[in-house]
Amino acid sequence: MTVKLILRDKEYEVRPGMALLDALKKNNIVPESVIATRDGEIITDDEVLRSGDVVKLIAVISGG
């Protein structure tokens, strides 16, 4: 099983065993612009992603 990253209405798939930071960079997601949660808990960018993980990315930028 792969790892799924969800940011707003977009989904990205990465392979298990990657650190979150690498997974974000690989998909051109700026790490500073998101907070990652897994099972409702915030995870740090050194977290190694496991098979079947669903990581919800919360965009942090607001304002106009």
Site residues, another protein (CB under 8 A): 30-35, 37, 41-46, 58-64
Shortest distance, position 7 Cβ to another protein, whole Å: 12
* 43 contact partners, CB below 8 Å, separation of at least 6: 20, 36, 37, 55
Residue among 1 and 14 whose Cβ is closer to another protein: 14
Distance of closest approach, residue 62 Cβ to another protein, in angstroms: 6
CA nearest 37: which of 4, 63, 10? 4
Which residue in this structure is represented by tokens 């949660």? Answer: 37
Q: How far is the CB of 56 from another protein (least distance, A)?
A: 11
